[in-house]
Every structure is written in C-alpha cells, then in structure tokens.
C-alpha cells in the first residue's frame, strides 16, 4: 500500500537567532525563532512523514511546552518519524520539499541539506528533494519576516 503525506511549517525571522534549515547553519542577519532549532524545512518533512502514517503531527509528538525539545536539533524529530515508519514495517520511499525564503540564497546549501535530511531519515540523498524559491517579495515571506516550507512524503506500508 502506497501512502502520501504533506507537511507545512513557518517560523518568524528574528535578530539574535541562528538560521538553521535542513540541519545547515546558514550565515544570515536573522534566524528562525522557535522552541527547538526552528528548522522549518525539517519540521515540514517530519509532518509529511507522520501524515503518510496517519500518526498526528510534530506538535503532538514534541510539544513546545516540553523542556526536552528546547533548542533541540530537528534531526531528532525526523529520526523519530522514520522510527515510526519502521515500527509499522513500512518503507520511506522519498520526500520532497520546497523552502519559501526571500533571503538568503539557499541553493548553495541544498546538497548539504539533502545529506542531513537523508541521514536523519535513514534514506539515500537521492530520495530527498530540496528546492528553494523566493516569494517574489510578496507578503510576510517577501518582507523577510519569516520562512516557510512545504513537503510531501511517500511511504510504503504492508496491506
């Protein structure tokens, strides 16, 4: 049985925070605000995998009221999502994601992001898509107030 899931996440850009996307720390004047490392890309992928399993979302699994996840690297969330796929005797086929950010340029970091995401999920880097687009200067993303990410995941589960 082939299942798909989708995920979306957004975090605000603020001064005094590191910008971490796909597990890569990217030099920038602002960083994403949040309880964990606020890696919107990994969060969207995590929700996509959980969605394919029909097992809730990242906020239910890792509540931001739980001090254990404070400043946590988001690869632990991906690893838990992958563990849940394995627990269902499933196979994560591929994930694909788009990051919506006006700045900085993310393309130079895409290969590193793919490698980090693949490692956290235990799949091959060529089974991970990471794309980046600006928001054509429109809205909160266009004004540099935040960064969003969307993702899909394909999971094979036993019938």
Contact residues for Mg ion (CB under 5 A)?
9, 43
35 contacts 74 by C-beta, under 8 angstroms: no
Give the residue at shortest CB distance from Mg ion: 43
Q: How far is the CB of 11 from Mg ion (least distance, A)?
A: 6
Residue with smaller CB distance to Mg ion, 9 or 102: 9
Helical segments of 33-146, H only: 40-53, 58-61, 75-87, 110-121, 139-142
Using CB atoms within 10 Å of the CB of residue 20, give its burial: 0 to 12 exposed, 13 to 18 middle, 19+ buried: buried
70 contacts 36 by C-beta, under 8 angstroms: yes
Q: How far is the CB of 89 from Mg ion (least distance, A)?
A: 28
Q: How far is the CB of 91 from Mg ion (least distance, A)?
A: 26
Residue with smaller CB distance to Mg ion, 17 or 88: 17
Q: How far is the CB of 141 from Mg ion (least distance, A)?
A: 15
157: how many CB neighbours lie within 10 A of its CB? 15
Residue with smaller CB distance to Mg ion, 132 or 149: 149
Directed axis angle between helix 75-87 and helix 40-53, to 10°? 10
Residue with smaller CB distance to Mg ion, 32 or 85: 32
């Amino acid at each position: 049985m082939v299942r798909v899931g989708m995920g979306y996440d957004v975090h605000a850009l603020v001064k005094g925070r590191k910008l971490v996307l796909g597990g890569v720390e990217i030099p920038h004047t602002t960083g994403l605000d949040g309880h964990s490392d606020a890696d919107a890309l990994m969060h969207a992928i995590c929700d996509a995998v959980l969605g394919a399993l029909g097992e809730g979302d990242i906020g239910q699994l890792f509540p931001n009221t739980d001090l254990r996840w404070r400043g946590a690297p988001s690869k632990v969330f991906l690893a838990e999502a992958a563990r849940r796929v394995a627990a269902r005797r499933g196979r994560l086929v591929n994930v694909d994601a788009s990051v919506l950010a006006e700045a900085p340029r993310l393309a130079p970091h895409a290969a590193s992001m793919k490698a980090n995401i693949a490692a956290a999920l235990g799949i091959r880097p060529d089974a991970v898509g990471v794309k980046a687009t600006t928001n054509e200067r429109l809205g909160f993303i266009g004004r540099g107030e935040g960064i969003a990410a969307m993702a899909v995941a394909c999971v094979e589960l036993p019938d």
